[in-house]
Amino acid sequence: MQKLVQLLEFGAPGAKSLEEIRQQVASAGCSSKGGSGKSSCGSAAGQGDLAPEVWEKVKNHPCYSEQAHHHFARMHVAVAPACNIQCNYCNRKYDCANESRPGVVSEKLTPEQAAKKVLAVASSVPQMTVLGVAGPGDPLANPQKTFKTFELVSATAPDIKLCLSTNGLMLPDHVDRIQAMNVDHVTITINMIDPEIGAKIYPWIFYNHRRYEGVEASKILSERQLLGLEMLTARGILVKVNSVMIPGVNDKHLVEVNKAVKSRGAFLHNIMPLISEPEHGTVYGLSGLRGPSAQELKALQDACEGEMNMMRHCRQCRADAVGLLGEDRSDEFSNEKVAAMEVTYDLEARKAYQAKVELEREAIAKAKTAELVKLADETSAIKIQVAIATKGGGRVNEHFGHAHEFQIYEVSTAGAKFVGHRRVDLYCEGGYASADGAATIIRALNDCTAVLVAKIGICPKDSLAAAGIEAVETYAFEFIETSVIAYFKDYLQRVEKKEISHVAKGDADIRQGAFTEA
Ligand code: CLF
Ligand code: SF4
């Protein structure tokens, strides 16, 4: 392992790329015995005007920092099966290995199994910096299992940040314990502050040994959520609020929710689209309630953006997700595989990886500043969206045909900003192109002027062009934001020279709850 640490030393001649390091740590970290084996968050990058102690908490957290999500991974352990409320968008009985959405999980774990799994992942995936308990039920409806897991992990892997996501009903009762366990990041899902609206989202809650229904249930839930939020922020714990945008139910109301949570000190607001398919068997899915379109979601997020950071890179993960947001490596760490692993937890190698990422981040920030300078003389009012094929690291580094998702950037003369992502079916299946794949990808990217890729074949390039989307390979393996800005500058020049016409784009499908091939 000493050799590996030497390899990681930044500045060393011939230093390895991050991808090489990841692979090398993965092969050295643990072995299988017969098993098969307004600143820094939301949209912008860098520390900005965050206090240093806050920056320390968020800089390596893939959910609390948009920039960090290109480099750092989270994992969830499914130790909390029970829930104490019912949401009309949730059905935890549904499970599919290829499905990614909250509440979905392949295996439930005991705290001891979870602690071993965390060490196994930490040994193999140096970019994993955060352990979250996010279900499949509610972590605070299962407090013994949740806190026991945190206790075991903080004793053996103290560098891993602990994270908790709750519906908030029992939160006020556990705030002291959360603080005592150094859980710095808590997410509360708050979909309403008006119990009349809540009654359309929550049929019942179970509280103080009693079942409550209708408006009464939502009134209790809302009071407990807001009290828990106030108690956490008073203790300096960072709180992210997740809200599910449910068209026709709470979409307009979420602006009020945003104000309410902002005034109580929430750090970040994550407005997510409703995932609603009949096959999920949820009340909303079965009643045909649709999720929002890409433009509807963005318009609400934009309306809420102000002093408070908005999160736009949420992938609505499974309760057992492992990996960078947008990738799921949970299959590699099944109970059976973890039980057969010999785990070597190497804190020094993990620290070295993180130091290397710091250097990469500095390089990205410098390159972005340089590219922005080139835009300084432009006065155009044009604003476009550009899709990116990436597999992480903040670079344009994915082949079009291999992309499971595209990241979406909005760019104008003010610069480039991450505004979302689109999950898509793979264009290439087993080496063959899929006609359906092209159509669904075009629907998902319909609001984009261009897609920047590492590589693309002639057929998909032509299909995209016919749909008014330019496929561009010029920026292969370059930093994303600098590429987007450079593309935009080139686009403006071509418009000015009348080589092309600027065309306003239409709406797009989010396809958040889509099935994807793992
Ligand atoms: Fe997990 Fe949530 Fe912690 Fe992140 S997820 S408990 S804060 S470590 Fe992140 Fe996943 Fe979105 Fe959650 S992308 S669903 S916001
Ligand atoms: Fe499902 Fe979470 Fe709602 Fe419970 S709180 S019903 S687990 S979405």
200 CA → ligand 1 middle, Å: 25
Atom of ligand 2 nearest to the CA of 86: 6
**Ligand 2 nearest-atom number relative to CA 103:** 7
Look at residue 429 in the predicted model and tell me its pLDDT: 64
Residues of the chain with pLDDT under 70: 1-48, 93-106, 307, 428-437, 511-518
- 205 CB-near residues (< 8 Å, 6+ apart): 84, 85, 86, 169, 211, 212, 217, 218, 220, 221
Closest by CA position to 89, among listed 228, 229, 247 = 247
- Tell how far the Cα of 244 is from the centroid of ligand 2, in angstroms: 12
From the alpha carbon of 102, which atom of ligand 1 is closest?
A: 14
Q: What would the DSSP string read from start to end of 430-495?
A: TTEE-HHHHHHHHHHTTT-SEEE-SB--HHHHHHHHHTT-EEE-TTTTSBHHHHHHHHHHHHHHHH
For the Cβ of 273 lying below 6 angstroms from any atom of ligand 2, the answer is no
Cβ of 403 closer than 6 Å to ligand 1, yes or no, is: no
Nearest to 85 by CA among 176, 185, 189: 189
For the CA of 244, the nearest ligand:
2
Whether residue 270 has its Cβ less than 6 Å from ligand 1: yes
How far apart, in whole angstroms, are the C-alpha atoms of residue 118 and residue 278?
34
State the distance from the centre of ligand 2 to the C-alpha of 85, rounded, in angstroms: 6
CA of 314 to the centre of ligand 1 (A): 7
Please choose from 57, 70, 74 the residue to mutate so as to test ligand 1's pocket, defined by most ligand atoms within 8 A of CB.
Answer: 74
Residue among 87, 89, 105, 241 to mutate when testing ligand 2 (max atoms within 8 A of CB): 87
Residue pair 129/74 in contact (Cβ under 8 Å)? The answer is yes
CA distance 193 to 218: 9
**Nearest listed ligand to the Cα of residue 319:** 1
Q: Tell which atom from ligand 2 comes closest to the C-alpha of 91.
A: 1
Look up the pTM and report it: 0.83
- Determine if ligand 1 sits within 6 Å of the CB of residue 269: no
250 within 8 A of 192, measured Cβ to Cβ: yes
Protein residue whose Cα sits closest to atom 4 of ligand 1: 63
CA distance 469 to 251: 30
Ligand 2 centre to CA of 188 (Å) is 11
The per-residue pLDDT for 382 is: 93
Which amino acid residue places its CA nearest to atom 10 of ligand 1? Answer: 317
Q: Which ligand is nearest to the CA of 168?
A: 2
Q: Name the nearest CA neighbour of 417 among 377, 378, 388.
A: 388
135 lines ligand 2 (CB under 6 A): yes
Q: Which ligand sits closest to the CA of 134?
A: 1
Cα separation, 168 vs 242, in Å, equals 11
| Nearest-ligand number for the alpha carbon of 315 | 1
Cα gap 457→473, rounded to integer Å: 10
Measured from the CB, is residue 319 less than 6 Å from ligand 1? no
Find out whether 320 and 96 touch, Cβ atoms under 8 Å.
no
Domains of the chain, CATH where assigned: 44-340 (3.20.20.70), 376-497 (3.30.420.130)
Q: Is the CB of 83 under 6 A from ligand 1?
A: no
Q: What's the confidence (pLDDT) of residue 33? A: 28
Mutate to test the pocket of ligand 1, among 100, 317, 405 (most ligand atoms within 8 A of CB): 317
Instruction: Report whether residue 90 contacts ligand 2, using a CB cutoff of 6 Å.
Output: yes
Of ligand 2's atoms, which has the minimum distance to the CA of residue 84?
A: 4
Name the DSSP class of 409: E
Is the Cβ atom of 316 under 6 angstroms away from ligand 1? yes
User: Does residue 76 have its Cβ closer than 6 Å to ligand 1?
Assistant: yes
pLDDT tens-digit series, residues 331-375:
888 888 888 887 878 888 888 888 888 888 888 888 888 888 888
Residue 412 and residue 383 in contact, taking contact as beta carbons nearer than 8 Å: yes
Structure tokens at 272: 């997510």
